[in-house]
Structure 1
Amino acid sequence: MPSFTVRFSLSLFAFLFLFLSSVIASEYDHKYQPDEPVTLWVNKVGPYNNPQETYNYYILPFCHPSGNPAHKWGGLGEVLGGNELIDSQIDIKFSKTVDKGIICQLELDEAKVKQFKDAIENSYWFEFFMDDLPLWGFVGELRPDKNSNNGKHVLYTHKDIVVKYNKDQIIHVNLTQESPRPLEAGRTLDLTYSIKWISTNVTFARRFDVYLDYPFFEHQIHWFSIFNSFMMVIFLTGLVSMILMRTLRNDYAKYAREDDDLETLERDVSEESGWKLVHGDVFRPPRNLVILSAVVGTGAQLALLVLLVILLAIVGTLYIGRGAIVTTFIVCYALTSFISGYVSGGMYSRNGGKNWIKSMILTASLFPFMCFGIGFVLNTIAIFYGSLAAIPFGTMVVVFVIWAFISFPLALLGTVVGRNWSGAPNNPCRVKTIPRPIPEKKWYLTPSVVSLMGGLLPFGSIFIEMYFVFTSFWNYKVYYVYGFMLLVFLILIIVTVCVTIVGTYFLLNAENYHWQWTSFFSAASTAVYVYLYSIYYYYVKTKMFGFFQTSFYFGYTLMFCLGLGILCGAVGHLGSNLFVRRIYRNIKCD
């Protein structure tokens, strides 16, 4: 059965990959002959300050193309990103200049004037595409008017498009809005356009460079933050090595003495305290083992997934394609599901778990269904508002099929392999029958405080990068510095492991052997600080408004922080698990 499932999943994945691969294999070769038609695609409009609140371009009363205009559907990521490209039917031919062409005549009535005025007051912008290159502009402008306190609403009626080309390929497009006309019911406005073609020596491979904000992303503060985080890693790893290894070496030396007389040995045992006293309970299975196994397995998968996507983004410049990052993330998530099953199944079996089917189902569905729950609420809001952010039913079916026929079977296979290959118990110390009572300690050694404090340093290591990520996602900037992201991600992993090990050591020294969940939450609390920062960012750094945008901002951020928390928690737990096994391997547990 597993082999059939794998073959079926691979066959289905091959089909879906071809269906979704518009980000890899372009529909066009981007080469034109003289006078060959060039399509100008209209995409979406929306309030400039609300990036996710976007609508179909023709929700505003612009002139609609005649007949049934062509639609361009990209890959899965493009649809999830809220893109719907429609042929504008504007007559554009390669290398042919147009001084002034008529798009249409727009007859204004009271309803149309009101729609345009509302759009202008909310700073509506629009997005076009030509040869996969974006063009942006504002619908109109609110100008001061001596006769009115509210100002005068003007609509831009002329679009001046400048196209730079290199031989037979389009390199750059630029749109300038001209001829503002006042909005008055009963008037007829001529909507016009002009096309100018300019030859350039810029190569096709560098045509997206103009969209990259080098001064912003490669600012000195960005380099300084990387250096600062790197120094934190050196200091933290050195501190952990010096303090912990020195302490443990003394403990090992005492246990390694074989020529002690009985009196000395008894005195040493009576004076023992801290982590050595809980050797009979430290490997006791944690509460809610099935949930802990699921989140640790999912977190291990997410860690590998993020690393893989970052590397693919560095190699393949995924920022160029619309929705390419999202498509890559979904496909890679499905393929890496084997890792979550393997880690979860092995951990569950090593701790004596019996209900492995429940563990496997929870591992395969935990994170996707959390995202589905948040996405369902956001999608309902988007449908109510009639926004392009609403995910079509067909797209939901495709995503579900990917999960059901690729991700789920691979998680099942990983669980079976994990149980059989790494599921044998290998604890260095035998677990005692009766649990040892946990003495009361000072407040700062309680699991809750250790968990909350554990996320501070990891958050500090990624704080600056979070600003750049949030700004690129919510402020129309193309994030392209994935080399920075790779370094920050590796630094986050190292800092998280070191901090969690220190927290685990302090907890065990307090004779508290419930380290499994504490180590997870200690690392996962990084996501809590990221979410708190997102609240600050929303109110201080953005001008977002309205229920729609607020819901999407905090909904997407919650989805991101859940993934980050599970990832960091799993890394912290796995690092602490290795540490605990290492220190108890060299002591006499009997």
Structure 2
Amino acid sequence: MGSGTPSFLGLLCALLTLRPGSGFYLPGLAPVSFCPAGSSSSDCQVNIQLFVNRLDSIESVLPYEYDFFDFCKDDQEKRPSENLGQVLFGERIETSPYKFSFMKTETCAKVCTKSYDVSKQEERTKLEFLKKGMQLNYQHHWIVDNMPVTWCYTVEDNQKYCNPGFPIGCYVDGNGHPKDACVINAQFNEKNTFYVFNHVDITITYHSGEGEGWTGARLVAATLEPRSYKHEDENKPVCEGEPMSIPGITNSNVKITYSYSVTFTVPHLRGLASICPPSPFLLSIMNSLVIVLFLSGMVAMIMLRTLHKDIARYNQVDQSYIRLFTQEESGWKQVHGDVFRPPRNGMVLSVFLGQGAQIFIMTFITLFLACLGFLSPANRGALMTCAVVLWVLLGTPAGYVSARMYKTFGGEKWKTNVLLTALLCPGIIFADFFVMNLILWVEGSSAAIPFGTLVAVLALWFGISVPLTFVGAYFGFKKQHPVRTNQIPRQIPEQSFFTKPLPGIIMGGILPFGCIFIQLFFILNSIWSHQMYYMFGFLFLVFIILVITCSEATVLLCYFHLCAEDYHWWWRSFLTSSFTAFYLLVYAVHYFFSKLQIIGAASTILYFGYTMIMVLIFFLFTGNGFVGGFFFFFFFVFRFSDSMVLVFFVLPPA
């Protein structure tokens, strides 16, 4: 394609970005206006407070609080109130000593000086922990006006990459090879040496309110450039000269002076490409749509050709009912008397279906709200808080679905069914989460959940979710599902390789996973590589496509199995779509060894522990994704066609 011809992705991106010029502000995200010192307006602020968050690393799953590294502290330290989602995610936001006045430029301003006497064990331990943080490439995460302070730098092909964090320092190993950020400066060349980024050049971009109908100015971006300077005079720092280095083997005292510079600027105009989503998002959507169209065509072909012919034949009133029933049946019609036979371990299946319904509804509502912007990344912790609250409040659908399915199977142990629905899967997840929290607590990580928060989560679970599950089960057990099955089970003929349960289940999970694996890469990056995920509109669309794909793949494969006269479809239909979780596990293992650089036993255990929680939730969700289309298909086919048989048997044609 020539350079002058617009690509399809570019055209699609342009269409996606067309929108009206007016806007609105979401609840809780009202903008703050700033004015220079001496302004007479009372509607804007003068001081800009910089907040600091926990520090994390792509080489370790263990995050740590800002104070854990012995950086400069705020004399009047305050912690904003954190919601449940922030606490569960391990965010630890606090004020910092970096305070600015709007429109006041400062150059090489001192923040504080940290001294380490290596003869004292406590100070030596702090220095060694700081060096370990630089070796593992731990990253600062600063916040200004609820916006992340980003570090932008140039990578290959002169492309600019912005990271919502910056390293505390870097390390040059014993062979003279610079690691991580040490490659940006040729002065970082001493072997077995740590270089501390003790100075930051901060640039705050603002948009003036002149002619906009509001007073003052609003901050639109904040960027910084980390630097390393060895300040000879801590009272009069000079931001030039040699970098601040710490030998790998430290035998002398170390003194680190932290400083900063801040400037204010207006934004530059940006092109359309800066606001378009990355190409992989669009490719993911198109890939998923192709799969859905293919499966929809296959299911439609079955419904229109096979079922339509059969039901039309039942409806031919000009034929004798004797001739109708003397015709030899074949395929799926031969098992209509056994298809609703209760499955083995129906209790467990009904519990899985109930929990899956709860997770399905929770995910749908959460993504829908996030798609509207109410759970944007700017509203920190809102996504997790919304998911937890919705899960607690959706105990009623879980109990209803589980009880109704268990009653359909002819079960009578309703108390056991309700208790397992309320406690089995959440109990497994909480036990895994509790063990992971113990490891975080032993390692001193900021991600360790406080004991009070654990008690609050348990109170929500047992005080709200469990009673609501009983309420839903009460209404579910009142429903009656009289289905007729033959007294003697029909013998299942010898099955070919492709109609046996295991091959069908393995093949059934491939197509749903093919719809999500590109989005899955970005989601795992946001979790483990600490990148911000913001494309919730695309994610919601992929979610809908995933549900449709799970339903259609299950309908298609189970129809083929029924045509082979194998009527054991209950567990097979659940496992066909839920086997997608196995591919998720395989992809997570591949991601761990190919994309991450995690070292240490604790970080490895934490990664796979949290991964197992995600796999279990995805297993229940995708296993329940077949319910809508699947039950419509089979109840329509077998219940309706069987009713037609009864009508013709009782009422002979005129």
Distance in 2, Cα, partners of 1:145 & 1:344: 61
Larger Rg, first or second structure (1 or 2): 2
* TM-score, length basis structure 1: 0.85
Q: Give how far 1:583 is off.
A: 0.9
Pick aligned residue for 1:86 from 84, 87, 94? 94
What is residue 349 of structure 1 aligned with on the other side? 407
Partner residue, 1:156: 197
Residue 286 of structure 1 aligns to a residue whose secondary structure is coil
Identify if the C-alpha distance between structure 1 residues 263 and 165 changes in structure 2 by more than 3 Å, giving closer, same or farther: closer
Q: Deviations over 1:187-216 (max 9, x none)?
A: 45352323424153699xxxxx99x9968x
Alignment equivalent of 2:362, drawn from 305, 308, 326: 305
Matches for 1:117-516 after TM superposition, within 5 Å: 117-135=131-149, 136-143=165-172, 150-166=191-207, 167-178=216-227, 179=229, 180-183=243-246, 185-200=251-266, 218-257=277-316, 264-265=323-324, 267-268=326-327, 271-315=328-372, 316-420=374-478, 423-427=479-483, 430-516=484-570
Q: Give the direction of change, closer, same or farther, for the CA distance of 1:431–1:144 in structure 2 (3 Å limit).
A: closer
1:47 maps to: 57
524-533 or 444-453, larger mean C-alpha shift: 444-453
**In 2, distance between residues paired with 1:161 and 1:37?**
15
| Alpha-carbon distance change, 146 to 572 in structure 1, aligned in 2, over 3 angstroms | closer
Deviation at 1:292, TM superposition (A): 1.4
The answer to whether the 8 A contact 2:371-2:540 is kept is no
Q: Distance in 1 between matches of 2:397 and 2:274?
A: 37
The 3-state SS of whatever aligns with 2:607 is helix
Q: Contact 2:574–2:624 at 8 Å: present in 1 too?
A: yes
Q: 1:479-525 CA deviation, whole Å, 9 max, x = no partner?
A: 11111112111111111111111121122222222111110001101
Aligned to 1:206: none
Q: Partner amino acid for 2:368?
A: L
183-192 vs 347-356, greater mean Cα deviation: 183-192
Maintained 8 Å contact 1:524/1:565: yes
Q: Which AA in structure 2 matches 1:172? A: A
Bigger mean CA offset, 147-156 vs 102-111: 147-156
Counterpart in the other structure of 1:9: none
**How big is the shift at 1:356?**
2.2
CA contact (8 A) 1:46 1:53 kept: yes
What residue in structure 1 maps to residue 179 of structure 2? none
Q: Distance in 2 between matches of 1:159 and 1:380?
A: 36
After superposition, the Cα gap between the structure-2 partners of 1:261 and 1:224, relative to the gap in structure 1 and judged at 3 Å, is same
Where 2:55 maps in the other structure, the secondary structure is strand
* Residue 145 to residue 538, structure 1, CA distance change in 2 (3 Å): closer
CA distance in 2, matches of 1:513, 1:144: 64
The 3 A distance-change label for structure 1 pair 214 and 518 is farther
Shift of 1:41: 2.7
Closer/same/farther in 2, CA of residues 188 and 495 from structure 1, 3 Å limit: closer
**CA distance in 2 between partners of 1:565 and 1:58 (Å):** 39
Separation in structure 2 between the aligned mates of residue 48 and residue 247 of structure 1, nearest angstrom: 54
The answer for unaligned runs of 5 or more in structure 1 is 1-22, 204-208
| Alpha-carbon distance, 1:574 to partner | 4.6
- What's the RMSD between the two structures over aligned residues? 3.0
**1:537-579 CA distance string (max 9 Å, x none):** 2212222222233223222222222222211111224532222
Give the aligned residue type for 1:373: A
Could you tell me how far apart the structure 1 residues matched to 2:321 and 2:263 are?
Answer: 95
**Cα separation, 1, equivalents of 2:55 and 2:540:** 34
What does the per-residue CA deviation read over 1:114-172, in whole Å, with 9 as the maximum and x for residues that have no partner?
Answer: 33332222222222223322333212222488999843222222233222334254332
The answer as to whether partners of 1:72 and 1:84 remain within 8 angstroms in 2 is no
1:96 matched residue in structure 2: 104
Q: Secondary structure at the match of 1:484?
A: helix
* Structure 1 residues 347 and 214: CA distance shift in structure 2, 3 A: farther
2:583 alignment partner in structure 1: 529
Structure 1 residue 312: Cα displacement: 0.6
Change (3 A) 1:349 1:107: same
Contact 2:47–2:99 (Cα < 8 Å) also in 1:
yes
- How many angstroms does 1:257 deviate by? 4.6
1:76 deviation in Å? 0.8
Equivalent-residue separation in structure 2 for 1:503 and 1:453 (angstroms): 9
SS at match of 1:272: coil
SS at match of 2:62: coil
Cα distance in 2 for residues equivalent to 1:314 and 1:189: 49
Query: Residue type of the partner of 2:615?
Result: C
Which 4+ runs in 1 deviate beyond 6 A?
A: 144-149
Structure 2 CA distance for aligned equivalents of residues 461 and 417 of structure 1: 36
What is the CA–CA distance in structure 1 between the aligned matches of 2:288 and 2:473, rounded to whole Å? 36
CA contact (8 A) 1:98 1:195 kept: yes
User: Do 1:157 and 1:189's aligned partners in 2 also have CA atoms closer than 8 Å?
Assistant: no
Classify the secondary structure of the residue corresponding to 2:625.
helix
**Which of residues 73, 80, 85 is equivalent to 1:72?**
80
- Structure 1 CA distance, aligned partners of 2:467 and 2:322? 60
Q: Mapping of 1:510-589 within 5 angstroms?
A: 510-584=564-638, 585-587=640-642, 588=645
Q: Which residue does 2:153 correspond to in 1? A: none
In structure 2, distance between residues paired with 1:221 and 1:235: 21
Moved more, 300-309 or 178-187: 178-187
Are the structure 2 counterparts of residues 372 and 214 from structure 1 closer, same or farther at C-alpha, using a change threshold of 3 Å?
farther
How many residues are aligned here? Answer: 552
Q: Please, which moves more after superposition, 360-369 or 381-390?
A: 360-369
Shifted more, 459-468 versus 87-96: the winner is: 87-96
Q: Deviations over 1:314-372 (max 9, x none)?
A: 21252212222111111122223222222222222233322223222222233322221
Q: Which secondary structure state, in structure 2, belongs to the residue aligned with residue 251 of structure 1?
A: helix
**C-alpha contact (below 8 Å) 2:111/2:260 kept by paired residues:** no
Letter aligned with residue 335 of structure 1 = L
Equivalent residue for 1:62? Answer: 71
Task: Supply the distance in 1 between the matched residues of 2:593 and 2:552 (Cα, whole angstroms).
Answer: 33
Is the 2:57–2:137 contact (alpha carbons within 8 Å) kept by the matching residues of 1?
yes
With over 3 angstroms needed to count, the CA separation of the structure-2 counterparts of 1:214 and 1:540, relative to structure 1, is: farther
Change (3 A) 1:266 1:160: closer
Give the distance between the partners of 2:396 and 2:223, measured in 1 at CA. Answer: 46
Structure 2 stretches of 5 or more lacking a match? Answer: 1-25, 38-45, 119-123, 150-164, 177-188, 208-215, 230-242, 650-654
Given that 1:313 and 1:319 are in contact with CA atoms closer than 8 Å, whether structure 2 keeps it comes out as no
Residue identity in the other structure for 1:399: V
Q: 1:298: how far off?
A: 1.8
- Three-state SS of the structure 2 residue aligned to 1:319 is coil
Task: Name the TM-score, length of structure 2 as normaliser.
Answer: 0.77
Counterpart residue identity of residue 424, structure 1 = Q
- Are 2:244 and 2:256, in contact at CA under 8 Å, matched by a contact in 1? no
242-251 vs 448-457, which moves further: 242-251
Tell me: CA distance 1:247–1:189, structure 2 relative to 1, closer, same or farther (3 Å): same
* C-alpha distance in 2 between matches for 1:109 and 1:441: 77
